[in-house]
Amino acid sequence: MSEQKIADYEFKPGFRGMAKDTGSDQTMFKGVHWGKAMMWIFLLSDTFVFSCFLISYMKGRASTTVEWPYPSEVFALTVFGVSVPLLLIAIMTFVLITSSGTMALAVKYGYEKNRKMCGWLVLATAIGGLTFVGMQAFEWSKLIHEGVRPWENPFGAAQFGSYFFMITGFHGTHVSIGVIFLFIYAYKVFAGHYDTQKRGWFTTMKGDYVEIEILGLYWHFVDLVWVFIFAFFYLW
């Protein structure tokens, strides 16, 4: 809908006016890109899923009578014969948070029509995400080698493994999907699809740099979720 129609729309006062505006997608999402609106709805639903996982984890940990594993011992990394607590986790967190910064810059340069900078920053974000997934795979393999399983744990409470693999695995799946789309979008930026408004592979809509912002919303959400996982699993 055009900006003129949006400006000419009459917002009625009072409760009835609010109810009418709320019940009308023509009003609530007037001028909003449909992809951005759908991404926000998806992120809201995904927030409930991750919240349920973390609440379940807190309840399970609070109710167990067996000693919970110490993160500084379970997630320690040996470097030159010295055990360094949470070293790998700190690097993973730094990489993921940094990738959030490069994604924000990619959105900025995208709206400025700076195709080269936008493309390189999207690619840098993808490489950062891929690095994170690789380090998470190394972390999983290390714990499995040490005997941690979804049904048993040599460091303490048996349910630690099931919570850890379920929640970090679900988050890692989100990151992996994001990395795939980041590489695809980096190609589309470098190929100039958004400058020529080339239609997408799975849709008839014309390409636009707003797609980079939509992907950025997803990536920032993934980073934010990791902050909570980091706090609950590695610091608590």
pLDDT at 113 (0 to 100): 87
pLDDT at 52 (0 to 100): 94
pLDDT at 13 (0 to 100): 67
Q: Who's near 227: CB < 8 A, 6+ residues apart?
A: 93
Sequence-distant contacts of 107-111: CB under 8 A, at least 24 apart? 107/212, 107/213, 107/216, 110/189, 110/194, 110/209, 110/212, 110/213, 111/209, 111/213
pLDDT at 70 (0 to 100): 84
Q: What is the pLDDT along the chain (236 residues), one digit of tens a residue?
A: 444 444 555 556 666 666 665 555 544 555 667 778 889 999 999 999 999 999 999 998 888 888 888 888 888 888 888 888 888 899 999 999 999 999 999 999 988 888 899 999 999 999 999 999 999 999 999 989 988 888 888 888 888 889 999 999 999 999 999 999 999 999 989 888 877 766 665 555 566 788 899 999 999 999 999 999 999 888 87
pLDDT at 27 (0 to 100): 47
What is the domain partition of the chain in residue ranges? 1-31, 33-235
Amino acid at 161: G
The two structure tokens encoding residue 36: 């951005």
Half-sphere exposure at residue 56, Cβ-oriented, CA atoms within 13 angstroms: 13
pLDDT at 117 (0 to 100): 93
Kindly calculate the radius of gyration of the chain based on its CA atoms and give it in whole angstroms.
Answer: 22
pLDDT at 68 (0 to 100): 85
Amino acid at 110: G
> Domain 33-235 has what CATH class?
mainly alpha
pLDDT at 136 (0 to 100): 94
Amino acid at 227: V
Run of H or E residues at 79: strand 77-79
pLDDT at 31 (0 to 100): 61
